[in-house]
Amino acid sequence: MSGSAARELTVTIEKIVAGGLGLGRLADGCTVLVPQVLPGEMVRVGVRRRHRRHLEAEVKELLTPAPERRSPPCPWYGRCGGCDLQHADYPSQVARKQEILAELLQRSGLGAAVLPVLAFPLAATAEFHYRQRIRLQVEEGRTGFFRTGSHQLQEVEACLLARPEINAAWAALRDHAGWRLLAGQCTALEISLDPASRQVVLLLHHRRRPRPAERQAAWRLCRELSVLKGLGFLPADHAAGPFFDRQAGPEGRREPDQLRLHYVLPAELAGSSLTLGVEPAGFSQVNEEQNRQLLRLLLELLKPGGDEILADLHCGMGNFSLPLALRVREVYGVDLQAAAIRGARRNAAANGIANCRFSRAQARQGLADLVAAGIRPDILLLDPPRTGCLDLVRSLAEPLPPRIAMISCDPATMVRDLGHLAARGYRVAAMRLVDMFPQTHHLETITLLLNDRVRNPA
């Protein structure tokens, strides 16, 4: 058999596409998608699944390796589903992501307008050990990550993406009798680093509310492992808690208050040193270094002049709203999550920032409420989850804000949403890829949009 009907094929990889897979083309026009390959490589592959217009395949033999190929440093690479670009040296990972972004822009019809203002990508200085938080799967006491494309556990003992303190806590935990008692009822374990104390907080996804012996085991862990700041239960059938704090003693608390994680935004960046707290289960950017770069770029692109009204429609705990509040007249923060709004208000008060208002709402409704109250934002900041913000951009009503900054962690939904904004008269004035997630295909972008039809930007 030859062509796309064969079970094994030889193919040359043309490029890496969104999702991190290599794409090759057969003589009959059928495309083949292959993981863990690089452009220019010739590979013999085995077909795993056939679709109408493409094949999924896996590498059987690497016939001509690309110059940027390296031996993946992680011993679980290829089995664990966490990373998919470790076989490429770091500069080439960043270059490949830029190509993926450029291709998405081209295919969406935005290429001619955006590619001239697409800056060179901002690589991370730390390609490993950058993650502030990891989520492990737990099965009968064993910990690890899901295998690629499955819900099967790949047992793993350390993660090269995680901060060293997280790996140290994970190793200490495995050896502790308290964990062995708890692990049986655990389905997942989140380990987050508190940058302020350099200790970690554990969140145990538990099948049910913990029983007295499990509460005692939790407290023993906190008391005996100095790397722990504390531990909380997230029972499947009940509200979150109890939370154990090694400073507070053996009585578990109902609220995670003492277990908040604290990040510092330095004065040279934020204008004044800000300490921002986030509840352990709340959202915070996983890469602290690149989060600071995002803020730096945001300030560079927006160049706030001091008199603007800014609406941050996915504000989280105030990561961007609060430093921006120091540079504009007023900030209105909106987020869907109650915990985020609680955190943002608390952070504003703790840092003495008074020109902010935070409210819980869907982004679209939050903006409509502002406009109904007579507030006309000069700047919109959009930092949606991966699904993007289609309902908001599709329904953006007059008065249109002259400036929009969009931060996105999914280039496909970002490109879709930019299309809607272009239809409302916005042009992309600048775009940059910020590599928040080295070793993975995930890519983050920051974009500045201006609307020349409305009030002139400052």
Kindly list the catalytic residues. 409
Question: How far, in Å, CA of 364 to CA of 369, rounded?
Answer: 9
Tell me which of 363, 382, 406, 418 binds ligand SAM, using CB under 6 A.
363
Nearest-angstrom CA–CA distance, 382 and 94: 24
**170, 227 in Cβ contact below 8 A?**
no
Tell me which residue of 18, 67, 141, 147 sits closest to 411, measured CA to CA.
18
To ligand SAM, the closest distance from the beta carbon of 312 in angstroms equals 7
* Span interacting with ligand SAM, options 189-197, 280-288, 418-426, 437-445, rule CB under 6 A: 280-288
Among 314, 346, 403, 441, binds ligand SAM (CB under 6 A): 314
The yes or no reply on residue 319 touching ligand SAM (CB under 6 A) is yes
Structure tokens at 134: 């990891």
Segment contacting ligand SAM by CB under 6 A, of 120-128, 152-160, 184-192, 278-286 = 278-286
First to last CA, the chain: 65
The 3-state DSSP class for residue 425 equals coil
Task: Out of 41, 190, 383, 444, point to the residue binding ligand SAM (CB under 6 A).
Answer: 383
- The smaller minimum CB distance to ligand SAM, of residues 270 and 334, is found at 334
Q: Is 285 in the site for ligand SAM (CB under 6 A)?
A: yes
Would you call 281 exposed, middle or buried from its count of C-beta atoms within 10 A (0-12, 13-18, 19+)? Answer: middle
Candidates 106, 362, 413, 440: give the one binding ligand SAM (CB under 6 A): 362
* Rounded distance between C-alpha atoms, residue 150 and residue 325, angstroms: 43
Give the whole-angstrom CA distance, residue 293 versus residue 288: 9
- Using CB positions, name the residue nearest to ligand SAM: 316
**Closer of 124 and 160 to ligand SAM (Cβ):** 124
DSSP per-residue letters across 105-164: HHHTT-HHHHGGGBPPPB--S-SSS-BSEEEEEEETTEEEEEBTTSS-EEE-S--TTB-H
- Minimum distance from CB of 320 to ligand SAM (Å)? 5
What is the smallest separation between the CB atom of 27 and ligand SAM, expressed in angstroms?
43
Residue 102's φ and ψ, nearest 5 degrees, are: -60, -40
- What amino acid occupies position 394? R
3-class secondary structure, 166: helix
Provide the minimum distance between the beta carbon of 230 and ligand SAM in the complex, in angstroms, as a whole number: 22
CA atoms 446, 417, 318, 259: torsion sign: negative
Q: Are 401 and 454 in contact (CB under 8 A)?
A: yes
- If one asks whether residue 410 binds ligand SAM (CB under 6 A), the answer comes out as no
Least distance to ligand SAM, CB of residue 396, Å? 14
Q: What is the DSSP string of 36-60?
A: S--TT-EEEEEEEEE-SSEEEEEEE
Q: How far is the CB of 263 from ligand SAM (least distance, A)?
A: 10
Please, what is the minimum distance in Å from the beta carbon of residue 69 to ligand SAM?
Answer: 32
**Structure tokens, 84:** 């998919």
Residue 154 vs 284, nearer CB to ligand SAM: 284
From 23-31, 159-167, 172-180, 378-386, give the range in contact with ligand SAM by CB under 6 A.
Answer: 378-386
Residue nearer to ligand SAM on the CB measure, 228 or 370: 370
CA 130 distance to own-chain centroid:
12
Could you say which residues in the range 208-267 bind ligand SAM, by CB under 6 A? none
Q: How far apart are CA 74 and CA 242, in angstroms?
A: 35
The nearer residue to ligand SAM, 340 or 415, going by C-beta atoms, is 340
Q: Token digits for 17? A: 């596409």
Stretch that binds ligand SAM, among 64-72, 312-320, 349-357, 417-425 (CB under 6 A): 312-320
Residue 262 identity: H
> x/- string (CB under 6 A) for ligand SAM, residues 327-356?
-------xxxx--x----------------
Applying CB under 6 A, the residues found at the interface with ligand SAM are 283-285, 313-316, 319-320, 334-337, 340, 362-363, 383-385
